[in-house]
Structure 1
Amino acid sequence: MHRHALTMPDSRTLVANAVLLLLVAAAVIISLSMGTVQIALAEVIRALIGTTEDPMAAFVINELRLSRVVAGMLSGAALALAGCLMQTLARNRLATPGIIGIDNAATAFAVASVVGTGIAIAPSAMALVGAATATALAFGLAGANGTRGYRFIVAGLGIGAIAGAVTQVMLSQVAIDDANAAYPWTVGSLNARSGASVQVLALGLAASCLVMVAIVRALNTLQFSDPVAIALGTRLRRTRVVGLGLSVLLTGLAVSVCGPVGLVALLAPELARTVCRPGRIPLTAAALAGAAFMVIADLLGRTLFSPLEIPVGIITAIVGSPYLLWILLRPSTRSLT
């Protein structure tokens, strides 16, 4: 096998990435245009490039909506990449951060900070600690199998259930105002985003992408058996540790911005594998699909029943749950990658 066969993109993948990029751009423009105040698409573009003469449009776009859309794009891309990495390491399409409990643990730790349990660490930092803790526990309980096999998934499901129960207990023991402050962390919402958390997410996502570029060939070899991957020059242990670390980092940072937005990490990689050529890990396509999915879901949550807003986590759950059932019930006839 040629050395570059596992790294060079093919024409189908390039076309798929281009189409997904256009979808992201369209979703962003439409999301910036729609809301309580409707703004023409042309005016949105002029506001973004700084040539609009309408001060109201400039204020609504640049001050109110743009930061929310950027937060959605970044968190969606981060969750999708985390899911793609986790699925690759476990060689299982169901092994996403949400399903194995990382989201719930990150949420529990963040809520612990919000409701005042004596922990004086910022919710975003606590979310990252929770994600790392859940992964370490799942990895330890899986034993020799590591991230591979159903034992890792079952361990994660148990950890996620415990973390969810702990979150509900904490919310039931605090004043109603504190519980309301923590509510966005429990359902997933871009309405309670923190500017500092978004900046940290952007930096973490950029750094993670650089690392993934460096290990993409090794990740692609994980689709083969361990002996074949080793014969191709892959250092399996190092690749799995780095990949798992990136998945935890991206999940924790994303949850620190939007809370536990379910099933993005499952849907986006699945869509990416569908449109890209099999045989490679579709990291770019997954990130673009995740960004588009998050922006579109948030747009639907803001506009379907306006002025009532539905948190983005509820929208993704409604859309993604039937698809999850379809994956579970459908016989799989293709490889993970």
Structure 2
Amino acid sequence: MKTPPKTPPGPPAAPHGPAAGRGSVPRPRPPRGPAAPPVPAAPPGTFRLAAGGLSVLVPRRPLLAGAALAAVLTAVAAVCLSVGEIAVAPPDALRAAVLGTGSPRDLLVVEELRMPRVEAGIAVGAALGAAGCLMQTLSGNRLATPDTVGLNNGATAFAVAGIVAAPASLLPSATALTGAATAAVLTLVLSGGAGQRGYRFLVVGLGVGAVFGAVANLILARAEIDAANAAFAWTVGTLNARSQTAVTVLQAGLLVCLPLAVVLGRRLNALRFSDAVATALGERVRPLRAAVLLTSVVCAGLAVAVAGPLGMIALAAPEAARRLTGPGPVPVLASALAGAVLTLSADLVGRTVLAPLEIPAGLVTAVVGGPYLLWLLLTTRTRRTP
């Protein structure tokens, strides 16, 4: 009797019934779609802000520096609203400034006397800080600011001439802009440009500023006593009794110029190299320089039209901003915030140190900024290119 051949054992049959889930091997499910790529970690020193499928890297140190400067500016503004010959408690001052409520005395002191000075100081300081940052980066020289290249003196001379000729509310703003533009054009033409000739641009600007300063003194000397007294404030720099129309014009100009300055500051990173390298990187050098110079002229001219030539703000604010933000992008916003803090601080010191005698803010910045300028001249090696 033959036995049937043995067949190789096959795979075990799948169990059925209630025992199907016991000891059975789960089958792998097919993937539903392509797996999402892993999100790379943010580089050191940056934040990653993601929304949907987009993400932006934000430098950590400039962001923290900007937040710190904004907090300091808020604190200084609160002190300016509270301190004076008539003291107002900080909560009452903030309530009167923000909500418009409080006692009649607090509303009069805060809204009518101190709030306009604070608004003017913030706007003027922000304009001078941004203009100084752009001018220094454009010329490649830390000493090149609207103060030193003649823009402020040109704006002052034209503003004084406008006040002496026809003391209208809008005339100082228009004439100051014209004077700043005239000084910028003269300095640019006589120096041969603001790019690789940063040292020459600075020296020519000092000469142009001296000429316009002499013109302003000559106009004051030949003017009538009432007109000379009205124009004298534009020669020292002060925030006292500023024209609200000029402040409004400056604030409107900042709404346009400050975002433009931030965009131009990003593009100015390429001008830290030579013109050939910047052109190779795809940057149009001449239009960029013209836009930066025009923005600086508008900011400086409108600031001088409000407060006069507040010296050293445009020099010290960008330097403080660079020390806080560190190496990286051009710190336009940080320079604007630092300029506002310095301007309000100078006005606060001038109002309170010798009260009831008031010292103009321009004299305070000159006294404090003079030694700083000397230190900067002794420790800075300027770039000299023939």
TM-score by length of 1: 0.92
Q: Decide whether aligned partners of structure 1 residues 316 and 9 sit closer, same or farther in structure 2, where only a CA change above 3 A counts.
A: farther
1:170 aligns to 2:256 (yes or no) = no
What amino acid maps onto 1:258 in structure 2?
A
1:58 aligns to 2:98 (yes or no) = no
Contact 1:184/1:192, CA 8 A, preserved across alignment: no
What amino acid maps onto 1:201 in structure 2?
L
1:266 aligns to 2:315 (yes or no) = yes
Partner of 1:310: 359
Alignment partner of 2:256: what SS?
A: helix
Unaligned runs of 5+ in 2: 1-45, 47-55
1:29 aligns to 2:78 (yes or no) = yes
**Pick from 222, 227, 244: which aligns with 1:195?**
244
Runs of 4+ in 1 over 4 A off after TM superposition: 117-121, 144-147
1:128 aligns to 2:173 (yes or no) = no
Q: Decide whether aligned partners of structure 1 residues 209 and 51 sit closer, same or farther in structure 2, where only a CA change above 3 A counts.
A: closer
- Give 1:52 deviation, angstroms: 3.8
Structure 1 distance, partners of 2:116, 2:158, is 25
**Pick from 135, 158, 162: which aligns with 1:86?**
135
Partner of 1:71: 120
**Deviation string for 1:16-69 (max 9, x for gaps)?**
111110110001000000111100111112212326432211221112111110
What amino acid maps onto 2:133 in structure 1?
C
Structure 1 distance, partners of 2:248, 2:57, is 31
What amino acid maps onto 1:115 in structure 2?
V
Contact 1:10/1:277, CA 8 A, preserved across alignment: no
Moved more, 22-31 or 140-149: 140-149
Contact 1:204/1:250, CA 8 A, preserved across alignment: yes
Partner of 2:343: 294
**Pick from 238, 241, 244: which aligns with 2:287?**
238
Structure 1 distance, partners of 2:293, 2:374, is 26
- Give 1:242 deviation, angstroms: 0.4
Alignment partner of 1:309: what SS?
A: coil
Contact 1:140/1:146, CA 8 A, preserved across alignment: no
Structure 1 distance, partners of 2:213, 2:147, is 11
Partner of 1:320: 369
What amino acid maps onto 1:211 in structure 2?
L
Partner of 1:48: 97
Alignment partner of 1:115: what SS?
A: helix
Partner of 2:64: 15
Q: Decide whether aligned partners of structure 1 residues 243 and 144 sit closer, same or farther in structure 2, where only a CA change above 3 A counts.
A: closer
Partner of 1:107: 156
Unaligned runs of 5+ in 1: none
Q: After superposition, where does 1:136-151 map in structure 2 within 5 Å?
A: 136-143=185-192, 148-151=197-200
What amino acid maps onto 2:238 in structure 1?
S
| Structure with greater Cα Rg | 2
Contact 2:155/2:179, CA 8 A, preserved across alignment: yes
Partner of 2:326: 277
**Deviation string for 1:201-241 (max 9, x for gaps)?**
00111101222243332112222222332232221111111
**Deviation string for 1:303-323 (max 9, x for gaps)?**
111111111100011111111
Moved more, 136-145 or 125-134: 136-145
What amino acid maps onto 2:360 in structure 1?
P
TM-score by length of 2: 0.81
Structure 1 distance, partners of 2:119, 2:75, is 14
Structure 2 distance, partners of 1:232, 1:247, is 24
**Deviation string for 1:143-165 (max 9, x for gaps)?**
25657321111111111111111
| Total equivalences in the alignment | 329
Q: Decide whether aligned partners of structure 1 residues 109 and 313 sit closer, same or farther in structure 2, where only a CA change above 3 A counts.
A: same
Contact 1:113/1:120, CA 8 A, preserved across alignment: no
Contact 2:82/2:88, CA 8 A, preserved across alignment: yes
Structure 2 distance, partners of 1:94, 1:73, is 23
What amino acid maps onto 1:32 in structure 2?
L
What amino acid maps onto 1:295 in structure 2?
L
Structure 2 distance, partners of 1:174, 1:115, is 7
Alignment partner of 2:85: what SS?
A: coil
